[in-house]
Amino acid sequence: MDLTEALEVLAREGSRLRDPWALPWEDRDQQAVHALRFRSNLDAEGQSLLMVAVLGGASSGKSTVFNNLLDGHRASCVTVKAHSTRGVIMAVHQDHRDRIGRWFGEPQLMFPSLKLHEVGIEEAVLGDPAVVTVVYHAIERLKPVLLLDTPDLTSAHSEREGDLAKSLLPWFDKVLLVVNFPQRWRDRQVAEFAGDAVLFCPDRFVLFNHTQEGELGDPERRALDEQAGRLRARFAIVDYSAGRGLRRLVLPDAIWSLLAKAPEHRLGLLRRQVHRAAEDVYSENELRRQLLAELKGRLQACGEKHLPSEKDCIRAMMTQEEQQAVLWFRNRLLGVKRFREKMESGAARVAGVLSKIPVVGRLFEASADAPFLARDPRETREQIAWKYFESSCGSLLAEFNKVSRSSKFWKHLGRAADPCPSPGGAIQDYRERMVQVIQRLDGALTNWAKAVQSQWEGVGAAVAGAASAGTAAALVLLYLHAGPIGWLLIGKIVVAHWAILAGTIVTGAAGGKPLRQTIVALQEKLGLSREYRQVQEAAVAYRGLMEEFAWQVSRQLHQTAEAWVLDPQTPLAEALDVLSQGEEGEP
């Protein structure tokens, strides 16, 4: 994309930068793009026109000056009521009528944000903020000039119209600022406006409208000179004259000299302004992209940190009877102190080695398992699982919202984070699938229990007698006392280390050889059976539903923030990149 194409894209879509993205792209920046595009077309056609705006505060007399420049035609309404001019009124020589039709055609090159409305030169119109009211005249010395009367700058009542005048500054080659003296010549808005005009309008002239009787003394004239200096413009004074309605003024020759002067070449000035504005927006958007990536990373870390583990989910699905069985196993057979008191010296050394192995060592920690949840003996596994699912999803939602609220992204935007709404319906959407998973789990547990029972009838008593409550015996008794869920919860940790256990428990406890054989059989018949894998898969699927909910919330929070970032792959972002990288003043 070259500079011309980038300018066309911004002319079409630039106004969207403020809404929805709230990027620092002012109406004045958009008008600078339109004005640059318009001026570039004029230069390409070899045409030269001077756009001169008459601006001022409320009741400053600018409409009177505008009408006097038009040889006394009542084009703009003059009343005793302040803030009467509401929109732009543009006086155009009749020879340019066809040009006006073309510039306001399709595509619209002149004031694309406003519509065209043509009226007679004596209609004394008030204008409209949404249109450019055009009047045609036959004044030859104004033939190269497009003369505009504008809404006032200083009235809170007319804030919208005042903002319109300021936003259109990039269009004006010359500015005639009318200030009524002594009432409004120190207005802060006038001074601020004059400062903004420096950016766009090389030629500025201040007309002090003396609205009181009496001669101006030297101190007053020196004060006006000082004020004009602050406005960085030449000035003249129009003396007071009594009367209401349209007043005929004797305009100073300096104004006619200003209008007769050839227009400055303003393309470079407009290019620099567009470059600066595009650079600001592009930089802001890049910063938002970086903060958005940081937010995304924090949301991902939040999910990984607060998602229940597979082991937590298994424990949560246990009935009260299964909980009591596992508690019995942990307290009676895996309690470190009691277990080690009963072990012989050789078995104690084996346990010491195993306790240092990651994961396996957790079997020898008295507090390895988190506290079990209170259970109502009447609750079914489905009821238990659904209650835990709701609770976990609610906790996840709270954690995700907390991360979003505290992120640098929203702090940078200076606005409160949009939270992900209460889970309610979103969680209910998972109920049917959760029920299916729990039914799978129940079926898998039943099949697994039957398969093991048929193959290991009576193995518990034999192993228990031979092993004298050793490590391997504890693993076998886990099934007998804790049931299938107990094995799933604790026994699977040891499955990965069957070889270690089988290789080390050869001596120590009585019946070492039978124990080793028992472990190998357990590996094949219990830990690696098809039925057991089905139990594991159902548990994984249950946790997967929670994980799916977590990432859904994470994506929603990320997308809410992403809505405030302009996608770098869009033509609008590419246009900003091109214009921000170009040298200031580059054609």
Beta-ladder partners of 321? none
User: Residue 178: helix, strand or coil by DSSP?
Assistant: strand
Question: At a CB cut-off of 8 Å and minimum separation 6, what does 273 contact?
Answer: 29, 32, 170, 199, 200
Average pLDDT, rounded, for the chain: 75
Q: What is the pLDDT of residues 17-58, one digit of tens each?
A: 988 899 999 888 999 999 999 988 888 777 778 899 998 877
Confidence tier at 362 by pLDDT (50, 70, 90): very low
| Distance in angstroms (rounded) separating the CA atoms of residues 75 and 58 | 18
The domain in which residue 430 lies consists of 307-562
Contact (CB, 8 A) for 249 and 222:
no
User: Residue 529: helix, strand or coil by DSSP?
Assistant: coil
Judge whether residue 496 has pLDDT over 50.
no
DSSP 318: -
- Can you give the pLDDT at residue 466? 44
Residue 358 burial (10 A CB sphere; 0-12, 13-18, 19+): exposed
| Distance in angstroms (rounded) separating the CA atoms of residues 2 and 10 | 12
Q: Classify the C-alpha dihedral 496-497-499-502 as positive or negative.
A: negative
93-119 average pLDDT score:
92
Residue 20 lies in a domain: no
Residue whose entry in the numeric block shows the structure tokens 């003024």: 249
Token reading at 153: 């700058």
| Distance in angstroms (rounded) separating the CA atoms of residues 406 and 395 | 17
| Distance in angstroms (rounded) separating the CA atoms of residues 211 and 178 | 12
Q: Which residue has the higher pLDDT, 266 or 554?
A: 554
569-577 average pLDDT score:
93
- Can you give the pLDDT at residue 237? 82
Residue 273 lies in a domain: no
Same domain for 250 and 351? no
Judge whether residue 59 has pLDDT over 50.
yes
Residue 107 vs residues 38, 95, 113, 131, 507: alpha-carbon distances, Å: 11, 22, 12, 16, 94
235-250 average pLDDT score:
66
At residue 281, φ and ψ (nearest 5 deg) are: -65, -45
53, 32, 50, 42: which is closest to 111 by C-alpha?
32
Quick one: how far is CA 448 from the chain centroid? 51
Judge whether residue 322 has pLDDT over 90.
no
- Can you give the pLDDT at residue 463? 47
Which span out of 81-85, 226-230, 233-237, 432-436 was modeled with the highest average pLDDT?
A: 432-436
Residue 148 vs residues 53, 142, 297: alpha-carbon distances, Å: 5, 12, 54
Same domain for 409 and 507? yes
- Can you give the pLDDT at residue 10? 94
- Can you give the pLDDT at residue 301? 95
Judge whether residue 554 has pLDDT over 80.
yes
- Can you give the pLDDT at residue 587? 39
Residue 12 lies in a domain: no
Token reading at 54: 């008459």
Q: What is the pLDDT of residues 416-438, one digit of tens each?
A: 888 887 656 677 888 888 888 88
Same domain for 352 and 235? no
Judge whether residue 511 has pLDDT over 50.
no
- Can you give the pLDDT at residue 356? 44
| Distance in angstroms (rounded) separating the CA atoms of residues 154 and 157 | 9
Portion of the chain with pLDDT greater than 70, in percent: 66
Residue 563 vs residues 21, 173, 279, 431, 450: alpha-carbon distances, Å: 7, 38, 21, 30, 55
Say which CATH number the domain at 54 has: 3.40.50.300
- Can you give the pLDDT at residue 439? 86
- Can you give the pLDDT at residue 187? 57
Q: Classify the C-alpha dihedral 161-91-130-272 as positive or negative.
A: negative
Judge whether residue 571 has pLDDT over 70.
yes
Q: What is the pLDDT of residues 479-489, one digit of tens each?
A: 444 455 555 55
Residue 301 vs residues 153, 519, 554: alpha-carbon distances, Å: 52, 39, 10
Rounded to a whole number of angstroms, the distance between the first and last alpha carbons of the chain is 14
- Residue where a domain terminates, one of 239, 262, 285: 262
- In terms of DSSP H, where are the helices of 1-26? 3-13
200, 73, 77: which is closest to 138 by C-alpha?
73
Same domain for 425 and 344? yes
Q: Which residue has the higher pLDDT, 304 or 336?
A: 304
User: Residue 121: helix, strand or coil by DSSP?
Assistant: coil
Same domain for 122 and 230? yes
83-110 average pLDDT score:
89
- Residue where a domain terminates, one of 262, 291, 321: 262
- Please confirm whether the linkage preceding 107 is cis (ω < 30° from 0): yes
Q: Which residue has the higher pLDDT, 41 or 110?
A: 110
Residue 33 lies in a domain: no
Residue 557 lies in a domain: yes
Residue whose entry in the numeric block shows the structure tokens 């935007």: 413
- Please confirm whether the linkage preceding 514 is cis (ω < 30° from 0): no
Token reading at 117: 């409305």
pTM of the prediction?
0.72
Of 180-194, 304-318, 491-505, the one with minimum mean pLDDT is: 491-505
User: Residue 118: helix, strand or coil by DSSP?
Assistant: strand
Same domain for 340 and 436? yes
- Can you give the pLDDT at residue 219? 79
- Can you give the pLDDT at residue 159? 56
Question: At a CB cut-off of 8 Å and minimum separation 6, what does 277 contact?
Answer: 25, 26, 29, 32
Task: Return the biggest CA–CA distance within the chain.
Answer: 126
Contact (CB, 8 A) for 325 and 333:
no
Same domain for 340 and 258? no
Portion of the chain with pLDDT greater than 90, in percent: 28
Write down how long the chain is. 587
Residue 461 lies in a domain: yes
Same domain for 312 and 249? no
Same domain for 320 and 221? no
Same domain for 314 and 252? no
Judge whether residue 201 has pLDDT over 70.
yes
242-260 average pLDDT score:
74
Quick one: how far is CA 123 from the chain centroid? 49
Judge whether residue 535 has pLDDT over 80.
no
287, 322, 307, 324: which is closest to 412 by C-alpha?
287
Judge whether residue 174 has pLDDT over 60.
yes
> Ramachandran region of residue 214, left (φ > 0), alpha (ψ -120 to 50) or beta?
left
- Can you give the pLDDT at residue 339? 44
Specify the number of domains making up the chain. Answer: 2
| Distance in angstroms (rounded) separating the CA atoms of residues 206 and 232 | 9
Question: At a CB cut-off of 8 Å and minimum separation 6, what does 242 contact?
Answer: 213
- Can you give the pLDDT at residue 384? 83
Kind and range of the H or E run holding 204? strand 203-210
Residue 21 lies in a domain: no
At residue 134, φ and ψ (nearest 5 deg) are: -105, 130
Judge whether residue 472 has pLDDT over 50.
no
Same domain for 349 and 202? no
Judge whether residue 542 has pLDDT over 70.
yes
- Can you give the pLDDT at residue 506? 41
Judge whether residue 366 has pLDDT over 50.
no
Contact (CB, 8 A) for 511 and 466:
yes
Residue 6 lies in a domain: no
- Can you give the pLDDT at residue 471? 43
- Can you give the pLDDT at residue 456? 52
Token reading at 324: 């009591």
- Can you give the pLDDT at residue 409? 95
Same domain for 518 and 385? yes
